[in-house]
Amino acid sequence: MGSETPTRRRFIQSAGAVTLVGAAGCTGGDGGGESNGKNGETAGSMNGGGAQSKTIKYLSDRGDSKQVIDQIISEFESEHDYKVDVTYTSKGTSTDEQLQKMKAAGNPPDIVFDTSTDAYRYQQNGNLAPISGAVQGTGLPDPVNVGGESYFAATMVEPLMGWYRNDLYDGNPTTWEKWQSEAKRITEQEGINGYVVQSGQTNNADTQMTQYHWQNDVNIYGGPSDDIEVTIDKGQNRKRAVETYQWVQQMNQYSPNGSGWEWGDAIAALQQENAAAIMSVGGLPILTIASNRPDLVEKLSPTAFPVPNGKQQDKWWAYMEGHVVWKHGSATEGAKRFVEFFSKSDKFMDFVLSAPLFQFPPTKEMLNSDAIKNNETIQNHKPVMDLVRNNWDAFTSVLATGEGGQPNIVAADAYGQQVFGQSAAQLLVGGKSPEQTVDWVAEELRGLQG
């Protein structure tokens, strides 16, 4: 799949009326594609290519963080002979559509705020310039390192996380077996679905199914970046993958119909008391519900994903988002300087904390900073931070699933097409057996190997 295929997550697009400060990290701003830069020009009005421009075109979906971003830009412009012109995408949309428009007009952006997964795809297609100076030696993670050069500067991580009704569940169930028995009891005795299982070509369903496999030590892939092998249907991986789909099938008995559900749909089920537990991302559910049903907040507790009895939490999907520099922009060198300036800015943590509980800083050192410890929202949700701190070393990206954590383009493309979400639909809607579902998903993954 090429870089022209939209793959960014659509959090609020499916959440309907969700409005919250904590969703800043996923909604984008009110810009509607219009420029918010200081020089008043739209990004599409400037020439791409040719001589290096003194105007850096910056495309972002972080409009709710505009105040902090503008402060960083102002400081950068006071120290460098560049202007930064920002295009924010509309609320509820990612940067993909606007990126394609700018490229089609011959005015690609110089900087794009995107995921590490998309960044690797862009790099593989020859679209990115290296930004090693903004990454190497800084302590930041380096998920898109190719040939010793870094192509992605992380600004945050957003780990998957579950939420359950602590007034209905008898403590945190933790294991597959306990989750199943508790979900069954709640469904049968409390008049509310005990759990939400999602399926279909959605990002929430895809992350959920992938994490379930990881919880059962399924190695979906093997091999180095340049020779990725699909291993989900091989040996013990096949046995464990079948077990995973069997458990999902059982849990689906205690779930509303989650076919085609995205993040907002599951959150709405929890908020409307149609479900007692969901798997989502970070503190997005609690922040949403605090805005609409504050009476429920004290009844909700965070949790890691269910894990089979005897297994440990050793691989935890965490989104990673940040900056890339477009190789074919008009101010590439200036863009590199800005990305490095942004990563080292004294307002970096202000940017991260523009959506506390949803987006977390990209390093453990930052996680333990005074800015985090003194943030009021975070102080009010100590169990969330405890969960994040206690599992920090398990956080990883779906991109880092090649040998030794090398970037994996097959996994990136599989996520882009929500193959694992589709596999859940094959199982729960299409009537395939767990064994047939493993065969189906293995064939689909091999079809992406190119």
Low-confidence residues of the chain: pLDDT under 70: 1-51, 91-93
pLDDT computed for residue 229 by the predictor: 97
pLDDT computed for residue 24 by the predictor: 32
Enumerate domains of the chain plus CATH numbers. 12-157+320-379 (3.40.190.10), 159-315+395-446 (3.40.190.10)
Provide the whole-model pTM.
0.88
Q: Angle 404-405-408 (CA atoms, 0-180°, nearest 5)?
A: 115
* 112: its two tokens: 């794009």
Beta bridge partners of 165: 300
* 254: its two tokens: 């205690």
**Residue given tokens 């059982």 in the structure block:** 250
What CA–CA distances, in Å, run from 154 to 136, 278, 329, 360? 11, 27, 20, 11
For 206, other C-beta atoms within 10 Å of its C-beta total 26
Whole-number Å distance between alpha carbons of 211 and 157: 16
Whole-number Å distance between alpha carbons of 171 and 388: 19
pLDDT computed for residue 91 by the predictor: 60
What CA–CA distances, in Å, run from 412 to 33, 60, 245, 426? 27, 21, 22, 21
**Cβ burial 387-396 (10 Å sphere, 16+ → b, else e):** bbeebbebbb
Residue range 100-137, pLDDT digits in tens: 888 888 889 999 999 999 999 999 999 999 999 999 99
Whole-number Å distance between alpha carbons of 322 and 120: 12
**Cβ-proximal residues to 120 (8 Å cutoff; 6+ apart), any chain:** 143, 144, 151, 152, 399, 407, 409, 412
Residue 93: φ, ψ to 5°: -125, 155
Whole-number Å distance between alpha carbons of 407 and 224: 8
Whole-number Å distance between alpha carbons of 315 and 296: 30
What CA–CA distances, in Å, run from 9 to 93, 115, 296? 8, 9, 27
Residue range 174-200, pLDDT digits in tens: 999 999 999 999 999 999 999 999 999
